[in-house]
């Protein structure tokens, strides 16, 4: 559980640098984790976190306190990561397309073992890393960090409708990756489907 940071936030808003430093100490691992999940690499994640805390430091007086400090930081981090990824996309030509097919590299496991492993955290984390960045950003912010669609859209510079479409595509791709076999059915005429 994250500690109560209210006192530190109040002090930091009055210009108390040491209070802001304490806020950094309490939250930087969390922000680094988010940044890594969004950017997919350590170097970018470090830059994003540096940038996010600088922006937060400059803007702490404007923080109204109607959300938790960590939620506010998630939004700033998401925005910085989006900027960083745009910079990367401009310099990279091998950007993955949204329709890129995910390949299950663990196809040799038997079904029971697969089911056991399906929700192994490492597998989920790896599957997330393999998603195209635009889809990954939305599903991480919504399903891992619980940010509302409105905030996600604002920080990524897209519409709410686009955020939802990306979220659904990302969920579908992850499902395909983690549960590659769909239930096989036989359908008889005039009857409902039966599992086999």
Partner 1 sequence: MTLMLSEHPRRTTRRLTCEEVAAALPGIVDGNDEADRRVQHHVATCLRCQAELVHYRKLLRALRMLRTEYLEPAPGMLSSILANLEEAGERGAIRSLLSGRRAAYIGGVAVAATAAGAAGTVVLVSRASNRRKGMRLAG
Give me the residues that bind partner 1 (CB under 8 A), please: 17, 20-21, 24-25, 28-30, 32-33, 36-37, 42, 46, 49-50, 53-54, 57-58, 118-119, 121, 124-125, 128, 139, 143-146, 149, 164, 167-169, 171-172, 174-175, 178-179, 182-183, 185, 192-195
Dist CA 72 CA 22 (whole Å): 16
Cβ at position 182, least distance to partner 1 in Å: 7
| Residue among 103 and 187 whose Cβ is closer to partner 1 | 187
| Residue among 94 and 192 whose Cβ is closer to partner 1 | 192
| Residue among 127 and 156 whose Cβ is closer to partner 1 | 127
Q: Are the C-beta atoms of residues 135 and 169 closer than 8 Å to each other?
A: yes
| Residue among 28 and 88 whose Cβ is closer to partner 1 | 28
CB neighbours (10 Å) of residue 123?
Answer: 16
Dist CA 155 CA 173 (whole Å): 23
Distances (CA, A) of 105 to 123, 135, 177, 182: 11, 20, 10, 18
């Amino acid at each position: 559980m994250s500690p109560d940071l209210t006192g530190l936030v109040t002090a930091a808003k009055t210009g108390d640098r040491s209070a802001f430093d304490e806020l950094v100490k309490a939250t930087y691992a969390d922000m680094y984790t988010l940044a890594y999940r969004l950017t997919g690499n350590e170097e970018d994640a470090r830059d994003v976190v540096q940038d996010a805390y600088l922006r937060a430091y400059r803007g702490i007086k404007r923080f109204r306190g109607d959300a938790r400090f960590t939620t506010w930081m998630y939004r700033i981090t998401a925005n910085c990561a989006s900027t960083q990824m745009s910079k990367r996309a401009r310099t990279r030509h091998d950007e993955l397309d949204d329709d890129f097919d995910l390949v299950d590299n663990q196809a040799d496991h038997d079904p029971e073992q697969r089911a056991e492993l399906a929700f192994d955290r490492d597998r989920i984390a790896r599957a997330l890393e393999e998603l195209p960045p635009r889809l990954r950003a939305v599903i991480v912010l919504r399903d891992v960090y619980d940010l509302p669609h409105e905030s996600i859209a604002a920080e990524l510079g897209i519409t709410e409708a686009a955020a939802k479409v990306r979220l659904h595509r990302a969920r579908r791709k992850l499902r395909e990756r983690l549960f590659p076999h769909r239930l096989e059915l036989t359908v008889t005429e005039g009857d409902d489907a039966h599992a086999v």
